[in-house]
Amino acid sequence: MTLIVVALAAGLIAGISPCILPVLPIVFVAGVAAPGAEETPKGSWRRSVAIVLGLVLSFSLLVLVGSEILSGLDLPQNTLMWIGVGLLGLVGIGFVIPVIGEWLERPFARLVGRQPSSSSGGFVIGLALGLVFVPCAGPVLAAITVLGATRDIHFETVVVTLAFAVGAVVPLLFIALAGGGLVRRVQAVRQRAPLYRQIGGVVLLLMAIGIATNSFDFLQRDVPGYTSVLQKKIEGSTSIRKQLNTLKGHQGSKAVSGSLVSCPSSSPGLVSCGLAPNFTDVTTWLNTSQDKALTMKGLRGKVVIVDFWTYSCINCQRSLPHVEAWYKRYAPYGLEIVGVHTPEFAFEHVVSNVKAQAQALGVKYPIAVDNDYGTWNAYDNEYWPAEYLIDAQGVVRHVDFGEGNYALTESLIRKLLVAAHPGLKLPPPTSVANRTPFEETSPESYIGYKYGLTYMDSDVEPAKNVATEFHFPTHLSSTTWAFSGEWNEHAEEATSIKDSKLEINYVAQDVYLVMGGTGTVSVSAGNGTAPTTVHVRGVPRLYTLFHAKSSSTGTMVLTFTPGVQAFDFTFG
C-alpha cells in the first residue's frame, strides 16, 4: 500500500513537471467537442476522462510490455512511438476534415455499440498520447520500467504502474476540462467552435511533428526542474528505495541487496561503497576507439564517473552540460566518464537514435548502450540521471541521484584526481549554471476547488461556479493565498471578473502560476521593486511571476484584468 500511495504521488509530481510541456497543447485542444456535438459539462467531462483513460492504458502497456511485443514481432523498438505520432497526425487531420475524424472514431464507437462521439475521439487521442508521453523519471518509474524490460511483471508491478499513470494524468485531466470548458463558457468561442476545432487540428499536427523531431527539448531543458526537490522527498527516502528493490526482487523472492543499495546519496564527503561492478551485458559501445568495450579493470588508475542517463530524459539533459564540462576540463588529468544509456522507453532502445541524439547533445565521452539493463541492475540503480564516482582503485566513493549537487561532485572529482596523482595542479573548477532549486519552497497550490492541494486563506466560502465578492484577510497566513474583488471559482481554476486581486505569501526563489484566458496581470512582489506586467493569452501555460537570485520570503499581490484564468501556483 505504501508503494501504491508513493507511486500515485510520484505520478502527480511527474504530471506537473517540465517534461509534460509538449503534450499540454494537445490535451487542451483535444478537450474541444466535435462539430455538431452539444457542449455540456457532462459531455466535456466524458471526453476529458476518455482522453486520460486512453493515455493510462497505452502508457501502462508501453512501459510493461511494449518492448517485448515489438521484439516478438521483430519490429524496430521505436515503432510504437511512430504509431503514436502518426495517430496524433491523423486525429489532427480529422479535426480539420470532420469526415475523416468520424471515420477514425467509428471503430472505437462500435466497441461500445453507439455512434461516433467526442468521447470516443478523446479515447483515440489518449491512446496516441500514451505512446509518446515521456514523463520525468524517478525511482518509481525507473523500477517499473526495469521490471517491464526484464519481463518480471506481476500483480504488484501492474498496480504500481497504474497508480503512477493515474497520478501523472490527473493534471492533464484538468487541462482537458479547461479546453472543453472554454468553449462551453465563452459565448464568442462557442459560436465559432468548428473554426477553433480546425485550428486545434493544425496545433495537433504541429505538435506531432515537433514530438517526432524532438523540437521541444530545448524548451523543457530551459524550464528549471521545479519538481526535483519534491520528487526526491517523496521517492528518494531509504525506506522507499528498499521497498522498490523488494519489488524488483520479486522474481525468485529475493530482493536486491548489494552494497550500492545502502550507499548514501549526496553524502557531503567521500565514502566507501565497495568495488564498482563491471559493465554488464552492454549492447553496443559508442565513442570508444573502434567502438571497443571498456572494463572497470582496464580503467584502474583513472578516476571514473559512471553516469546513467537516457536521451529523452529532460532531467538528464539538464545535467549533461555539467558532466560534459567535467569531461572537457579533467579528462587530460586522468578522469574518464562512461555514460551508461539505459532506455526508459522502447524507442530509446534503437542504437541509431542513441547515437544521433548523443551527437546532438554534445556527448563525446564513451557511451555504453545498456538495452538489457545488465549494468543498471549490476549497480542496483534507480534513477535517471545517476552519477557513481569511482576512485583510481575501482572503489565507489560517491553517489548522486537526480539533478543538482554539481559543485559537491566536482569538488570530490578534484580530490580523487589529486589523490591518484599527488602534486597534480588542476585548472579552476568549471562554471556551468545550476538550474536546480535546493531550498525549501512553498507547497504547490491549486486555485480551483476540486483539487486537494489548495492553500486558500479566506473567511468567505466561495460559491462554486458563481461569482463571489472577496476581501483580503487582515493577516495572511504563511504560504497561503487569498482573493480580493470578484472571482468565479471553478473546479480547476478561478476566473477574474471585477477588481480581481490575489495575494500570496511565498517561500521561493521563483514563483510560477499557470494561467489562461486573455488579459494582463500586474505583479507587485513587495520587495521594493517596481511592479511588472504579465500578458496572458491563449491556452493555459506556466508563467513566471517572480525571479530572485536566491530563495526569499515575501508577500506578492497580483492584480488581474477581467477574463484571466488562474490555475495553479508552483515554486522553485
Worst-scoring range by mean pLDDT, 22-26, 74-78, 184-188, 244-248?
A: 184-188
Confidence (pLDDT) at 312: 74
pLDDT digits (tens, 9 = 90+) for 413-445: 999 999 989 888 999 988 887 766 556 667 667
Confidence (pLDDT) at 256: 40
Provide CB contacts within 8 A for 529, sequence distance 6+: none
Confidence (pLDDT) at 112: 41
| 228 within a domain of the structure (yes/no) | no
Confidence of residue 257 (pLDDT cuts 50, 70, 90): very low
Any idea how long the chain is? 572
Confidence (pLDDT) at 480: 80
CATH number reported for the structural domain that contains residue 522 in this entry: 2.60.120.260
Q: Are residues 416 and 541 in the same domain?
A: no
Stretch 476-498: mean pLDDT: 85
> Helix, strand, or coil here: 369?
strand
Residue 282 structural domain:
256-420
* Cβ neighbours around 396 below 10 Å, total: 22
Q: HSE of 265 in the Cβ direction (CA atoms, 13 Å)?
A: 20
- Reply yes or no on whether the pLDDT at 114 is more than 70: no
Q: Are residues 14 and 139 in the same domain?
A: yes
Residue 275 CA from chain centroid, whole number: 33
| 235 within a domain of the structure (yes/no) | no
Could you list the beta-strand ranges (E) of 428-471: 445-446, 467-470
Q: Are residues 409 and 485 in the same domain?
A: no
Q: Are residues 528 and 414 in the same domain?
A: no
| 439 within a domain of the structure (yes/no) | no
Q: Mean pLDDT in the chain?
A: 75
Name beta bridge partners: 503: 482, 557
- Rounded Cα gap, residues 176 and 45, in angstroms: 9
Domain end residue (candidates: 420, 436, 466): 420
| 434 within a domain of the structure (yes/no) | no
CATH number reported for the structural domain that contains residue 352 in this entry: 3.40.30.10
| 232 within a domain of the structure (yes/no) | no
Stretch 400-423: mean pLDDT: 87
Q: Are residues 184 and 103 in the same domain?
A: yes
- Reply yes or no on whether the pLDDT at 37 is more than 60: no
Q: Are residues 53 and 197 in the same domain?
A: yes
Q: Are residues 457 and 565 in the same domain?
A: yes
Domain end residue (candidates: 197, 222, 247): 222
Q: Are residues 191 and 295 in the same domain?
A: no
Q: Contact, 146 vs 72, CB < 8 A?
A: no
- Rounded Cα gap, residues 201 and 429, in angstroms: 49
Q: Are residues 380 and 524 in the same domain?
A: no
Confidence (pLDDT) at 147: 62
Q: Output the nine-digit C-alpha cell for 27.
A: 490535451
- Residues of the chain with pLDDT > 90, as a percent, come to 16
On the question of a cis peptide bond just before residue 139, with omega within 30 degrees of 0, the verdict is no
Domain end residue (candidates: 169, 202, 222): 222
Q: Are residues 298 and 368 in the same domain?
A: yes
| 549 within a domain of the structure (yes/no) | yes
Angle at 159 between CA 121 and CA 310, to 5 degrees: 80
Domain total of the chain: 3
Confidence (pLDDT) at 261: 61
Global pTM reads 0.51
Q: Are residues 187 and 273 in the same domain?
A: no
Q: Which position has the higher pLDDT, 473 or 305? A: 305
- Rounded Cα gap, residues 175 and 196, in angstroms: 17
Confidence (pLDDT) at 305: 95
Q: Output the nine-digit C-alpha cell for 172.
A: 492533464
- Reply yes or no on whether the pLDDT at 500 is more than 90: yes
| 438 within a domain of the structure (yes/no) | no
Q: Are residues 27 and 150 in the same domain?
A: yes
pLDDT digits (tens, 9 = 90+) for 167-183: 777 777 777 777 666 55
| 227 within a domain of the structure (yes/no) | no
